[in-house]
Amino acid sequence: MTSHRMQHVVPGLAIFVLASIVTWLSFTQQPAEAFLFPRVISVVFIILAAWNLIRAVTGMSKVGRGIPVDTLKNLAPGLAVMLLYVFFGAKHLGFYLGSTLAFFAIYSFYDPASWSSVKDWIKRIFVTAAFMAVIYALFAVVLQVHTPRGILF
Amino acid sequence: MEFLNYFGGVFEPWAFMLLLGGTIGGLILGATPGLSPTMAVALLIPFTFHMSATHGLVLLGAAYTSTVAGGAVSAILLKIPGAPANIATALDGNEMAKRGEGARALHMSFLSSGVGGVIGILLLIFLTPVLAQWVLKIQTPHVFWIAILGVTVIGSLDSKSFVKGLLSGCIGLWLSTIGYDEIQGTERFIFADALSGGIGIIPALIGLFAIPQVLDMMAKGRVDALVEALEVPKQKLTASLRELTRYVRALSIGTVVGSIIGLIPGVGGQIAGLVAYDQSRKLSPQREKFGTGHPEGVVAAESANNAMVGPSLVPLLTLSIPGSPTAAVLLGGLLIKEIFPGSDIFDNHPEVVWTFINSMLVGQVLMVIFGIMIAGWAARIARAPAPIMAAGVLVLAVFGSYSVGQSVGDVHIMLALGIGMFILEKFGFSAAPLVLGLILGPIAGDNFTQGMTLAAAQDGPWVYFFTGTLNIFLISLVIASIAYSFWNNMLAGGKTPAAEPAGREAK
C-alpha cells in the first residue's frame, strides 16, 4: 500500500469508526423518539463512511494531499502552544495573560526574523503589547466581556 | 417598493458609521491573503452582540460585500486571491498590473463589482418578498426536504469529491443533534460536559473557518512569505468608466451568472467567478487574449462574485438556506438576534430586514468609492506578516467564541472543531457542507420529528414525506443534485491528479 493511499485510509477508517459509534448509539439509546432523526442520519452516515473507506483502500480516493511530515514538524510547536493556551492558559493564567503569552510565543516562533537580534525581540514585544491592548480595549472596555481571571488577569 | 420606506435607517449616524467602518475594514480584510470573507464575518459576529439587530446586520452585511470585492486587490497586485471568489480575477488582473496597468485593473474590478453587486441586491429586494409569499404554502415535510436539499446541493457542488462532500454534510447534521433534545427531554451524544448545551453555531463557525487558516499559516513554518505588491500608477476614473462600457457583454454575463449561482443554495462566489470567466471567454471574439491581461476577464469574474452576494441571501431570508458559506455565517448572526427567516420575516421585522438590505445597496456604492480610493495602500496593509496574522486570528477566535456564552467549553469546542476541520480539509473534505449540516440540522430534525408525529395520526410517513407534488419535486432536486455531482466525479475521475490539493471551501 503506497504512503499516499495509507494517508487516505487512516482518516477514512477514523470516520468509519465514528459513523459506527454514532449508528450504534442511535439505535441503542432510549427513548427511541429522541433518536429518530439521528437514526436516519446515522444510516446515511455509515453508508457514506463505508463508501469513502472502500475508495481509500482501493486507491480511488485522490482528492487531498494529506499531511506531509514537514507540515507536521512546522505545525507541532504552534499546535502545542494553541492547546496549552486553550486548555490550560486561558483558564488558569487568565484570558489576557494566557493570550499575551500565546500570541508572543506563536509570533516569535514563526517570525522569520532573527532570534538573536535584540531589535527583533523588542519589535515582537511591542507588537504583542499593542495587539493585546487593542483586544483588551475591545473586549473588556467596549464589549464588557467578563473573562476568567486566573492568577493574574 | 416597501424598501424605500426604510432607507432613512441606513443614514442614521451610528448605522452609517458601522456601514463605513465595515466597508473599509472589509476591503482591507478581503485584500489580506488567508483571511476569507467567511472567516472575517464569523469573527465579527461576537462584536455585534451588544448592538441592536439592525446595526449588527448592517456591519455584517458591509463586511460581506466588501471582503468579496477587496479580495481582488491582492489578486491583482500580489497574484494571491484574497478569497477563492477572486481566483479568476488574478488570471488577467495580475498580468495587467505587471504591464503597469494596476490602477486600470483595480478600477475595472471595483466598478464591475459595484454594477454586479447593485443588480444582485436589487434582485434580493424584488425576489425575496415574492418567494416569502410562496413559502407560506410550504409545510412540515417540505421544510425537511428543503433543509436536506441545502446540504446535498452544497455537499455535491462545493467539494471535489462528492462522497466527501456528502459525508461532510452528514457529519454536520450529526453534530447538530448533539446536546439536550427539548422535545423529548433527553440527552443525545453528550460525551463531555462542554457538549451538554449542544454545539453553538458561532463557536463552531469560528472554529471551522478560522482555525484551519491559522494552522495553514503555521504549516508553512518560518518562511518570509511577503510578496512585493506591484506599484499602482494613477489612472483617470472617467477613462475607466468609459472603458467599462466597452465590456457590457462580460459585465452582463458576469452579473447573470453570479445572480443565478447566488440563488442556488450553498454554492458561493468561487464557482460564480470561474463560471462567468469561462463563459465570457467562450463568447468573446477576443478569447485568445484571456489570461494575458485582458480587462474582460477581470470584469466578468468580479461582476459575478459580487452579483452573487444579494441573491445568496434570497434563500437565506425565506427558507433559512444560505446561498453561500458566508451567507451561512450571516444566518448565525440573524439567529442570535432571534430573527428567524421565513415567510413572516418581512412582517415581523420589516425595519431590521429592509434596513439591512438597503445598507447592502448603499454599501455597494461605498465599496466602489473606497475601493478605488484605498486599493493601492490596502494591498500594502494587507501584507501583514503571516505569524502576526496567525497569532492574532487565534486570539480573536478564542475571545470571539468565549464571548458568545461566556463559556470556556465553547472555546474548547471551537478549537476541537477547528483542528478536526484542518485535518479533514487536508484529505479533501470541505467546511461548507459541514457548516450547512450544522445549521440546517435542527430545522431538518425538528420538522422530521413533527412530521413523523403528524404522519402517525394521518396516512403514515410514506404518504406524508414521499407523496404530493412539492415533496416529489424537492426529492427530485435532492436526487438530481447528487446525480449531477456523481456524474461530474465520474467524468473527472480519470483526469484527477493523484495528489490534487484539497479545495478550500467557496467563500
How large is the angle between the packed helices B102-135 and B87-98, nearest 10 degrees?
160
Mean predicted confidence (pLDDT) in B129-158? 76
B206 touches chain A (CB under 8 A): no
Cis peptide bond upstream of B322, omega within 30: no
The backbone torsions φ and ψ at residue B179, rounded to the nearest 5 degrees and listed phi first, read: 120, -160
pLDDT at B406: 81
Cβ neighbours, 10 Å, residue A117: 10
pLDDT tens digits, one per residue of B7-44 = 888 899 999 999 999 998 888 888 776 667 777 888 88
Inter-chain residue contact A64 with B502, CB threshold 8 Å: yes
Say if residue B503's pLDDT is above 60: no
**Cell numbers 447528487: residue:** B482
* pTM, to two decimals: 0.78
* B266 pLDDT more than 70: no
Chain A neighbors of B497, CB-CB under 8 A? 62
Could you tell me which chain B residue has the CA closest to the CA of A115? B222
CB contact under 8 A, A109 and B160: no
| Per-residue 3-state assignment (H helix, E strand, C coil) for B266-302 | CCCHHHHHHHHHHHHHHHCCCHHHCCCCCHHHHHHHH
Which of B15-24, B62-71, B494-503 is most confident?
Answer: B15-24
What is the rounded CA–CA span in Å between residue A98 and residue A96? 5
Per-residue model confidence (pLDDT) at position B159: 63
Answer yes or no: is pLDDT of B496 > 70. Answer: no
Q: How confident is the model at residue B270 (pLDDT cuts 50, 70, 90)?
A: low
Neighbours of B126 (CB within 10 A): 12
Whole-angstrom distance, CA of residue B211 vs CA of residue B39: 9
- The reply to whether B186 touches chain A by the CB within 8 Å rule is yes
Higher pLDDT among residues B469 and B39, named by residue: B469
- The domains of chain A are located at 3-57, 69-142
The percent of residues above 70 in pLDDT, for chain B, comes to 88
- B327-341, B408-422, B439-453, B488-502: segment of lowest average pLDDT: B488-502
Measured CA to CA, the distance from residue B35 to residue B389 in angstroms comes to 9
For position B504, what pLDDT does the model report? 41
pLDDT value, residue B68:
80
Question: What are the φ/ψ torsions at residue B439 (nearest 5 degrees)?
Answer: -80, -40
- B388 Cα to chain A: minimum distance (Å): 6
A61 touches chain B (CB under 8 A): yes
CA-CA distance, A89 to A97, in Å (whole number)? 8
- What integer is the mean pLDDT of B100-121? 89
Residue B47 pLDDT > 50, yes or no? yes
pLDDT tens figures, B150-208: 788 767 666 667 888 889 999 999 999 998 887 777 888 888 888 888 888 878 888 88
Q: Is B283 on the interface with A (CB under 8 A)?
A: no
pLDDT tens, B470-483?
A: 889 989 988 988 88
Residue B450 contacts A where some CB pair is shorter than 8 Å: no
Question: Model ipTM?
Answer: 0.91
Q: What is the mean pLDDT of residues B204-228?
A: 80
Q: Which residue on chain B is closest to A107 by alpha carbon?
A: B387
Q: Give the DSSP H or E segment for B318.
A: helix B314-319
| pLDDT less than 50: residues of chain A | none
Residue B229 banded pLDDT, cuts 50, 70, 90: low
Q: Enumerate the residues of chain A whose CB falls inside 8 A of the CB of residue B399.
A: 95, 99, 135, 139, 145, 147
